Structure 1
Amino acid sequence: MNTAFVRRSFSVAAVLTTLAAAPLAMPLAAQQTSPMTGNGGRASLTPFAGFMVNGNWYDGPVGTSLKNTNGPVFGAQASFPLASMVSLVGSLGYSSGDLRIGAPIIGGVNVGSANTWMYDAGVELGGLGARTEGLAPFATVGIGGMTNNIEASILNVRATNVAYTLGVGMDIGFTPGMALRLQAKDWIGRFNSEDAIGFRVNGNTAHSFALTAGLKFTF
Protein backbone atom coordinates (compact mmCIF):
# COMPACT_ATOMS: atom_id res chain seq x y z
CA MET A 1 0.00 0.00 0.00
CA ASN A 2 1.23 3.51 -0.78
CA THR A 3 2.49 4.95 2.55
CA ALA A 4 2.20 8.56 1.38
CA PHE A 5 -1.43 7.97 0.42
CA VAL A 6 -2.20 6.56 3.90
CA ARG A 7 -0.61 9.57 5.62
CA ARG A 8 -2.61 11.97 3.44
CA SER A 9 -5.81 10.08 4.23
CA PHE A 10 -5.22 10.34 8.01
CA SER A 11 -4.41 14.05 7.65
CA VAL A 12 -7.62 14.75 5.76
CA ALA A 13 -9.63 12.75 8.32
CA ALA A 14 -8.09 14.73 11.21
CA VAL A 15 -8.96 18.05 9.56
CA LEU A 16 -12.54 16.95 8.90
CA THR A 17 -12.92 15.76 12.52
CA THR A 18 -11.64 19.10 13.86
CA LEU A 19 -14.03 21.06 11.64
CA ALA A 20 -16.96 18.88 12.70
CA ALA A 21 -16.18 19.35 16.41
CA ALA A 22 -15.72 23.12 16.20
CA PRO A 23 -19.47 24.03 16.25
CA LEU A 24 -19.90 21.92 19.40
CA ALA A 25 -16.96 23.54 21.16
CA MET A 26 -17.93 27.14 20.31
CA PRO A 27 -20.97 27.38 22.65
CA LEU A 28 -18.89 26.10 25.58
CA ALA A 29 -16.11 28.58 24.87
CA ALA A 30 -18.60 31.39 24.49
CA GLN A 31 -20.15 30.46 27.83
CA GLN A 32 -16.78 30.48 29.56
CA THR A 33 -15.85 33.93 28.20
CA SER A 34 -19.31 35.51 28.13
CA PRO A 35 -19.29 39.20 29.11
CA MET A 36 -22.19 38.40 31.48
CA THR A 37 -20.17 35.90 33.52
CA GLY A 38 -16.70 37.47 33.69
CA ASN A 39 -13.94 35.36 35.21
CA GLY A 40 -16.22 32.90 36.95
CA GLY A 41 -18.53 35.56 38.41
CA ARG A 42 -22.03 36.52 37.32
CA ALA A 43 -23.72 39.83 36.58
CA SER A 44 -26.61 40.69 38.89
CA LEU A 45 -29.41 43.14 39.65
CA THR A 46 -30.68 43.68 43.22
CA PRO A 47 -33.83 45.71 43.95
CA PHE A 48 -33.76 46.68 47.64
CA ALA A 49 -35.71 48.41 50.38
CA GLY A 50 -34.83 49.45 53.88
CA PHE A 51 -34.36 52.32 56.30
CA MET A 52 -32.11 55.41 56.19
CA VAL A 53 -30.60 56.89 59.35
CA ASN A 54 -29.37 60.44 58.69
CA GLY A 55 -26.75 62.51 60.50
CA ASN A 56 -26.92 66.27 61.12
CA TRP A 57 -26.06 68.61 58.25
CA TYR A 58 -25.41 71.46 60.67
CA ASP A 59 -24.88 71.82 64.40
CA GLY A 60 -25.72 75.28 65.72
CA PRO A 61 -25.44 77.02 69.06
CA VAL A 62 -27.16 75.80 72.21
CA GLY A 63 -27.76 72.30 70.90
CA THR A 64 -29.59 73.24 67.70
CA SER A 65 -29.18 71.26 64.49
CA LEU A 66 -30.52 70.77 60.95
CA LYS A 67 -31.03 67.40 59.28
CA ASN A 68 -33.26 65.11 57.25
CA THR A 69 -35.32 62.88 59.47
CA ASN A 70 -34.83 59.14 59.23
CA GLY A 71 -37.05 57.40 56.71
CA PRO A 72 -37.54 54.58 54.20
CA VAL A 73 -35.13 54.00 51.32
CA PHE A 74 -35.71 52.17 48.04
CA GLY A 75 -33.50 51.46 45.06
CA ALA A 76 -31.53 48.98 42.99
CA GLN A 77 -27.93 47.86 42.67
CA ALA A 78 -26.26 46.30 39.61
CA SER A 79 -22.95 44.44 39.53
CA PHE A 80 -20.65 43.23 36.77
CA PRO A 81 -17.77 40.81 37.46
CA LEU A 82 -14.23 42.03 36.77
CA ALA A 83 -12.27 39.11 38.23
CA SER A 84 -12.72 36.31 40.71
CA MET A 85 -14.55 37.83 43.72
CA VAL A 86 -14.14 41.39 42.37
CA SER A 87 -17.05 43.26 40.74
CA LEU A 88 -17.90 46.71 39.46
CA VAL A 89 -21.10 47.90 41.18
CA GLY A 90 -23.45 50.82 40.75
CA SER A 91 -26.58 51.81 42.66
CA LEU A 92 -29.45 54.27 42.63
CA GLY A 93 -31.56 54.95 45.71
CA TYR A 94 -34.34 57.24 46.90
CA SER A 95 -35.27 58.30 50.41
CA SER A 96 -37.85 60.75 51.76
CA GLY A 97 -38.44 62.38 55.11
CA ASP A 98 -38.94 65.70 56.87
CA LEU A 99 -36.55 68.62 57.20
CA ARG A 100 -36.05 68.97 60.94
CA ILE A 101 -34.60 71.71 63.11
CA GLY A 102 -33.37 70.19 66.34
CA ALA A 103 -33.64 72.10 69.58
CA PRO A 104 -32.94 71.30 73.22
CA ILE A 105 -35.78 70.42 75.59
CA ILE A 106 -38.50 70.31 72.88
CA GLY A 107 -36.47 67.91 70.71
CA GLY A 108 -37.10 69.71 67.45
CA VAL A 109 -39.67 70.77 64.89
CA ASN A 110 -40.30 69.72 61.29
CA VAL A 111 -40.22 72.68 58.91
CA GLY A 112 -40.62 71.00 55.53
CA SER A 113 -39.94 67.88 53.51
CA ALA A 114 -36.73 66.55 51.99
CA ASN A 115 -36.46 63.98 49.20
CA THR A 116 -33.02 62.57 48.45
CA TRP A 117 -31.64 60.76 45.39
CA MET A 118 -28.42 58.79 45.96
CA TYR A 119 -26.20 57.31 43.24
CA ASP A 120 -22.73 55.84 43.15
CA ALA A 121 -20.29 53.50 41.39
CA GLY A 122 -17.56 51.47 43.02
CA VAL A 123 -15.84 48.15 43.58
CA GLU A 124 -17.14 45.15 45.49
CA LEU A 125 -14.93 42.48 47.06
CA GLY A 126 -16.35 39.08 48.00
CA GLY A 127 -19.90 37.90 47.51
CA LEU A 128 -21.07 34.66 45.99
CA GLY A 129 -19.03 34.96 42.79
CA ALA A 130 -19.72 31.87 40.67
CA ARG A 131 -21.36 30.00 43.57
CA THR A 132 -25.13 29.65 43.71
CA GLU A 133 -25.67 28.71 47.37
CA GLY A 134 -24.31 29.43 50.83
CA LEU A 135 -23.29 32.47 52.87
CA ALA A 136 -20.89 35.01 51.36
CA PRO A 137 -19.80 38.28 53.04
CA PHE A 138 -18.82 41.25 50.90
CA ALA A 139 -17.55 44.83 51.19
CA THR A 140 -17.90 47.81 48.84
CA VAL A 141 -16.26 51.20 48.38
CA GLY A 142 -17.34 53.87 45.92
CA ILE A 143 -18.01 57.48 45.01
CA GLY A 144 -21.13 59.23 43.81
CA GLY A 145 -23.52 61.95 44.85
CA MET A 146 -26.63 62.93 46.78
CA THR A 147 -29.29 65.30 45.44
CA ASN A 148 -31.61 66.81 48.06
CA ASN A 149 -34.91 68.38 47.02
CA ILE A 150 -36.15 70.53 49.90
CA GLU A 151 -39.65 71.97 50.14
CA ALA A 152 -40.45 74.29 53.04
CA SER A 153 -42.68 77.24 53.71
CA ILE A 154 -39.79 79.65 53.25
CA LEU A 155 -37.80 77.99 50.47
CA ASN A 156 -37.83 75.35 47.73
CA VAL A 157 -34.31 74.40 46.75
CA ARG A 158 -32.21 71.61 45.28
CA ALA A 159 -28.66 70.85 46.35
CA THR A 160 -26.24 68.22 45.05
CA ASN A 161 -23.08 67.15 46.84
CA VAL A 162 -20.35 64.56 46.33
CA ALA A 163 -20.69 61.46 48.51
CA TYR A 164 -18.29 58.65 49.32
CA THR A 165 -19.70 55.23 50.14
CA LEU A 166 -18.61 52.31 52.30
CA GLY A 167 -20.66 49.16 52.65
CA VAL A 168 -20.63 45.67 54.12
CA GLY A 169 -23.12 42.87 53.85
CA MET A 170 -23.98 39.25 53.32
CA ASP A 171 -25.30 37.30 50.34
CA ILE A 172 -27.41 34.25 51.16
CA GLY A 173 -27.70 32.08 48.07
CA PHE A 174 -30.60 29.63 47.87
CA THR A 175 -31.23 29.06 44.12
CA PRO A 176 -28.96 29.20 41.03
CA GLY A 177 -30.40 32.56 39.97
CA MET A 178 -31.47 34.23 43.22
CA ALA A 179 -30.02 35.23 46.58
CA LEU A 180 -30.98 37.38 49.55
CA ARG A 181 -28.68 40.40 49.93
CA LEU A 182 -28.40 42.17 53.30
CA GLN A 183 -26.36 45.37 53.33
CA ALA A 184 -25.36 48.29 55.55
CA LYS A 185 -24.06 51.25 53.55
CA ASP A 186 -22.71 54.59 54.70
CA TRP A 187 -23.15 57.67 52.48
CA ILE A 188 -20.56 60.25 53.56
CA GLY A 189 -20.96 63.84 52.34
CA ARG A 190 -21.34 67.51 53.19
CA PHE A 191 -24.52 69.43 52.34
CA ASN A 192 -23.89 71.86 49.47
CA SER A 193 -25.26 75.13 50.87
CA GLU A 194 -23.83 77.15 47.99
CA ASP A 195 -25.86 75.09 45.53
CA ALA A 196 -28.97 75.55 47.70
CA ILE A 197 -28.87 79.20 48.83
CA GLY A 198 -26.07 80.80 46.81
CA PHE A 199 -23.37 81.13 49.45
CA ARG A 200 -21.27 78.75 51.48
CA VAL A 201 -22.07 77.82 55.06
CA ASN A 202 -19.66 75.36 56.62
CA GLY A 203 -21.48 72.30 57.83
CA ASN A 204 -20.80 68.79 59.03
CA THR A 205 -19.44 65.85 57.11
CA ALA A 206 -22.61 63.85 57.64
CA HIS A 207 -23.12 60.10 57.62
CA SER A 208 -26.32 58.62 56.22
CA PHE A 209 -26.63 54.90 56.93
CA ALA A 210 -28.81 52.79 54.66
CA LEU A 211 -29.83 49.42 56.13
CA THR A 212 -31.36 47.38 53.31
CA ALA A 213 -32.47 43.94 52.17
CA GLY A 214 -33.16 42.83 48.62
CA LEU A 215 -33.39 39.92 46.20
CA LYS A 216 -30.28 39.52 44.06
CA PHE A 217 -31.05 38.17 40.57
CA THR A 218 -28.04 36.75 38.71
CA PHE A 219 -27.62 36.23 34.95
Structure 2
Amino acid sequence: MTSSFIRSFAGVATAVTLLAAPSLSAQTGVGAHLTPFAGYLITGNWYDGPIGTSIATTNAPMLGVQGAIPLTRGVALVGSLGYASGDLRIGLPLLGGVNVGSAKTWMYDAALELGGLSDRSKGIAPFVTGGIGGMTNDIKASVFETRASNVAFTAGVGVDVGVSDGLALRFQAKDWIGRFNSEDAIGFRAEGNLAHNWALTAGVKLGF
Protein backbone atom coordinates (compact mmCIF):
# COMPACT_ATOMS: atom_id res chain seq x y z
CA MET A 1 0.00 0.00 0.00
CA THR A 2 2.82 2.37 0.91
CA SER A 3 4.80 1.92 -2.30
CA SER A 4 1.76 2.15 -4.58
CA PHE A 5 0.58 5.38 -2.91
CA ILE A 6 4.01 6.98 -3.27
CA ARG A 7 4.24 5.92 -6.94
CA SER A 8 0.80 7.37 -7.69
CA PHE A 9 1.65 10.58 -5.85
CA ALA A 10 4.92 10.96 -7.77
CA GLY A 11 3.18 10.29 -11.09
CA VAL A 12 0.58 13.00 -10.54
CA ALA A 13 3.19 15.55 -9.50
CA THR A 14 5.35 14.75 -12.54
CA ALA A 15 2.41 15.06 -14.94
CA VAL A 16 1.40 18.45 -13.58
CA THR A 17 4.99 19.68 -13.81
CA LEU A 18 5.31 18.59 -17.44
CA LEU A 19 2.03 20.25 -18.39
CA ALA A 20 3.13 23.48 -16.74
CA ALA A 21 6.56 23.57 -18.38
CA PRO A 22 5.56 25.14 -21.76
CA SER A 23 3.84 28.10 -20.09
CA LEU A 24 6.85 28.67 -17.83
CA SER A 25 9.25 28.98 -20.72
CA ALA A 26 7.13 31.76 -22.20
CA GLN A 27 7.25 33.90 -19.06
CA THR A 28 10.20 36.25 -18.93
CA GLY A 29 11.98 36.37 -15.59
CA VAL A 30 10.00 33.50 -14.04
CA GLY A 31 12.03 30.66 -12.58
CA ALA A 32 11.93 27.79 -10.13
CA HIS A 33 12.79 28.04 -6.44
CA LEU A 34 14.31 25.62 -3.96
CA THR A 35 13.93 26.17 -0.21
CA PRO A 36 15.86 24.07 2.32
CA PHE A 37 14.22 24.52 5.73
CA ALA A 38 14.43 23.56 9.38
CA GLY A 39 11.89 23.84 12.14
CA TYR A 40 9.77 22.06 14.70
CA LEU A 41 6.93 19.56 14.30
CA ILE A 42 4.05 19.74 16.82
CA THR A 43 2.11 16.50 16.53
CA GLY A 44 -1.49 15.60 17.31
CA ASN A 45 -2.69 12.44 19.07
CA TRP A 46 -3.28 9.38 16.90
CA TYR A 47 -5.75 7.97 19.43
CA ASP A 48 -7.49 9.25 22.56
CA GLY A 49 -8.56 6.56 25.01
CA PRO A 50 -10.52 6.50 28.27
CA ILE A 51 -9.58 8.53 31.37
CA GLY A 52 -7.06 10.70 29.57
CA THR A 53 -4.96 8.06 27.81
CA SER A 54 -3.57 8.67 24.32
CA ILE A 55 -1.10 7.45 21.69
CA ALA A 56 1.05 9.89 19.73
CA THR A 57 4.53 10.76 18.64
CA THR A 58 6.40 13.43 20.55
CA ASN A 59 7.07 16.88 19.16
CA ALA A 60 10.43 16.98 17.40
CA PRO A 61 12.83 19.07 15.30
CA MET A 62 12.44 18.62 11.55
CA LEU A 63 14.37 19.20 8.34
CA GLY A 64 13.18 19.36 4.77
CA VAL A 65 13.17 20.94 1.36
CA GLN A 66 10.51 22.60 -0.79
CA GLY A 67 10.56 23.17 -4.53
CA ALA A 68 8.35 25.59 -6.46
CA ILE A 69 7.52 26.13 -10.14
CA PRO A 70 5.51 29.28 -10.96
CA LEU A 71 2.42 28.69 -13.10
CA THR A 72 1.48 32.34 -13.52
CA ARG A 73 1.93 35.55 -11.54
CA GLY A 74 1.05 34.87 -7.90
CA VAL A 75 0.36 31.14 -8.41
CA ALA A 76 2.91 28.33 -8.09
CA LEU A 77 3.01 24.55 -7.92
CA VAL A 78 5.01 23.50 -4.87
CA GLY A 79 6.20 20.16 -3.56
CA SER A 80 7.85 19.45 -0.24
CA LEU A 81 9.55 16.67 1.68
CA GLY A 82 10.16 16.81 5.42
CA TYR A 83 11.62 14.50 8.06
CA ALA A 84 11.33 14.37 11.85
CA SER A 85 12.46 11.83 14.42
CA GLY A 86 10.70 11.59 17.79
CA ASP A 87 9.42 9.08 20.34
CA LEU A 88 6.29 6.95 20.37
CA ARG A 89 4.46 8.03 23.52
CA ILE A 90 1.55 6.65 25.51
CA GLY A 91 -0.20 9.38 27.47
CA LEU A 92 -1.27 8.44 30.98
CA PRO A 93 -3.35 10.40 33.48
CA LEU A 94 -1.42 11.96 36.37
CA LEU A 95 1.91 10.52 35.14
CA GLY A 96 1.87 12.54 31.94
CA GLY A 97 3.05 9.70 29.71
CA VAL A 98 5.77 7.21 28.93
CA ASN A 99 7.92 6.74 25.82
CA VAL A 100 7.65 3.19 24.47
CA GLY A 101 9.62 3.42 21.24
CA SER A 102 10.78 5.70 18.44
CA ALA A 103 9.07 7.05 15.34
CA LYS A 104 10.69 8.46 12.21
CA THR A 105 8.21 10.50 10.19
CA TRP A 106 8.40 11.40 6.51
CA MET A 107 6.00 14.07 5.23
CA TYR A 108 5.46 14.85 1.54
CA ASP A 109 2.94 16.80 -0.50
CA ALA A 110 2.10 18.70 -3.67
CA ALA A 111 0.18 21.95 -3.35
CA LEU A 112 -0.82 25.23 -4.94
CA GLU A 113 0.64 28.40 -3.50
CA LEU A 114 -0.96 31.84 -3.80
CA GLY A 115 1.01 35.01 -3.17
CA GLY A 116 4.66 35.32 -2.25
CA LEU A 117 7.37 37.18 -4.14
CA SER A 118 5.86 36.52 -7.55
CA ASP A 119 6.84 39.71 -9.39
CA ARG A 120 9.65 41.22 -7.35
CA SER A 121 12.83 40.14 -5.58
CA LYS A 122 12.72 42.30 -2.44
CA GLY A 123 10.18 43.18 0.21
CA ILE A 124 7.77 41.26 2.42
CA ALA A 125 5.09 39.08 0.81
CA PRO A 126 2.60 36.76 2.55
CA PHE A 127 1.37 33.54 0.93
CA VAL A 128 -1.06 30.65 1.52
CA THR A 129 -0.88 27.03 0.37
CA GLY A 130 -3.22 24.07 0.13
CA GLY A 131 -2.60 20.56 -1.15
CA ILE A 132 -2.51 16.81 -0.60
CA GLY A 133 0.23 14.34 0.23
CA GLY A 134 1.04 11.79 2.87
CA MET A 135 2.84 10.87 6.06
CA THR A 136 4.93 7.72 6.54
CA ASN A 137 5.84 6.62 10.06
CA ASP A 138 8.61 4.10 10.71
CA ILE A 139 7.90 2.83 14.22
CA LYS A 140 10.31 0.86 16.36
CA ALA A 141 9.49 -0.46 19.84
CA SER A 142 11.07 -3.11 22.04
CA VAL A 143 8.90 -5.93 20.67
CA PHE A 144 8.10 -4.88 17.08
CA GLU A 145 8.95 -2.72 14.09
CA THR A 146 6.40 -1.51 11.55
CA ARG A 147 5.64 1.13 8.95
CA ALA A 148 2.38 2.97 8.26
CA SER A 149 1.48 5.53 5.60
CA ASN A 150 -1.61 7.69 5.45
CA VAL A 151 -3.01 10.38 3.19
CA ALA A 152 -2.67 13.91 4.57
CA PHE A 153 -4.23 17.18 3.48
CA THR A 154 -2.09 20.27 3.94
CA ALA A 155 -2.81 23.94 4.54
CA GLY A 156 -0.27 26.60 5.32
CA VAL A 157 0.43 30.29 5.71
CA GLY A 158 3.71 32.13 5.65
CA VAL A 159 5.74 35.09 4.55
CA ASP A 160 8.68 35.61 2.20
CA VAL A 161 11.27 38.26 2.99
CA GLY A 162 13.19 39.15 -0.17
CA VAL A 163 16.87 39.89 0.40
CA SER A 164 18.23 40.15 -3.15
CA ASP A 165 17.70 38.70 -6.63
CA GLY A 166 17.32 34.94 -6.21
CA LEU A 167 17.52 34.99 -2.41
CA ALA A 168 14.78 35.28 0.21
CA LEU A 169 13.95 34.07 3.70
CA ARG A 170 10.79 31.98 4.07
CA PHE A 171 8.82 31.52 7.30
CA GLN A 172 5.91 29.09 7.26
CA ALA A 173 3.32 27.38 9.47
CA LYS A 174 1.88 24.30 7.77
CA ASP A 175 -0.75 21.88 9.04
CA TRP A 176 -0.64 18.21 7.99
CA ILE A 177 -4.11 16.75 8.59
CA GLY A 178 -4.62 12.97 8.54
CA ARG A 179 -5.48 9.77 10.40
CA PHE A 180 -2.91 7.18 11.45
CA ASN A 181 -3.26 4.10 9.24
CA SER A 182 -3.57 1.23 11.73
CA GLU A 183 -4.40 -1.26 8.97
CA ASP A 184 -1.05 -0.57 7.33
CA ALA A 185 0.75 -0.88 10.67
CA ILE A 186 -0.92 -3.84 12.40
CA GLY A 187 -3.24 -5.42 9.85
CA PHE A 188 -6.65 -4.23 11.03
CA ARG A 189 -8.53 -0.96 11.04
CA ALA A 190 -8.97 1.04 14.23
CA GLU A 191 -10.46 4.48 13.57
CA GLY A 192 -8.35 7.17 15.18
CA ASN A 193 -8.28 10.94 15.40
CA LEU A 194 -8.15 13.29 12.45
CA ALA A 195 -4.90 14.70 13.78
CA HIS A 196 -3.38 18.12 13.13
CA ASN A 197 0.41 18.15 12.84
CA TRP A 198 1.90 21.65 12.71
CA ALA A 199 5.26 22.20 11.02
CA LEU A 200 6.75 25.56 12.02
CA THR A 201 9.70 26.22 9.74
CA ALA A 202 12.19 28.78 8.50
CA GLY A 203 14.23 28.41 5.33
CA VAL A 204 16.32 30.06 2.64
CA LYS A 205 14.53 30.41 -0.70
CA LEU A 206 16.91 30.16 -3.66
CA GLY A 207 15.86 31.23 -7.15
CA PHE A 208 17.08 29.75 -10.45
**Structure 2: which 5+ residue stretches go unaligned?**
1-21
Matched, 1:180 2:169: yes
- 2:139 maps to what in 1? 150
Deviation at 1:41, TM superposition (A): 3.8
Please report the TM-score for the alignment, with normalisation by the length of structure 1.
0.83
Deviation at 1:34, TM superposition (A): 8.1
The CA distance in 2 between the partners of 1:142 and 1:66, in whole Å, is: 26
Contact 2:23 2:71 in 1 (8 A): no
RMSD: 1.4
- 1:131 maps to what in 2? 120
Aligned residue for 2:204, secondary structure, equals: strand
- 1:24 maps to what in 2? none
Match of 1:75 among 46, 64, 74: 64
Matched, 1:91 2:80: yes
Matched, 1:43 2:53: no
Matched, 1:204 2:184: no
- 2:14 maps to what in 1? none
Q: Provide the identity percentage.
A: 65
Aligned length: 187
Given the superposition, is the C-alpha separation of residues 161 and 131 from structure 1 closer, same or farther in structure 2, using an over 3 Å criterion?
same
- Please say which structure displays the higher CA radius of gyration: 1
**Structure 1: which 5+ residue stretches go unaligned?**
1-32
Task: Return the letter of the residue paired with 2:114.
Answer: L
**Correspondence list, 1:4-83, <5 A:** 35=24, 38=27, 41-83=30-72
The CA distance in 2 between the partners of 1:165 and 1:39, in whole Å, is: 30
Match of 1:193 among 177, 182, 185: 182
Q: Cα deviation per residue 1:72-91 (whole Å; 9 max; x = unaligned)?
A: 11000000010110000000
- 2:94 maps to what in 1? 105
Please report the TM-score for the alignment, with normalisation by the length of structure 2.
0.87
- 1:30 maps to what in 2? none
Deviation at 1:194, TM superposition (A): 0.2
Given the superposition, is the C-alpha separation of residues 36 and 185 from structure 1 closer, same or farther in structure 2, using an over 3 Å criterion?
farther
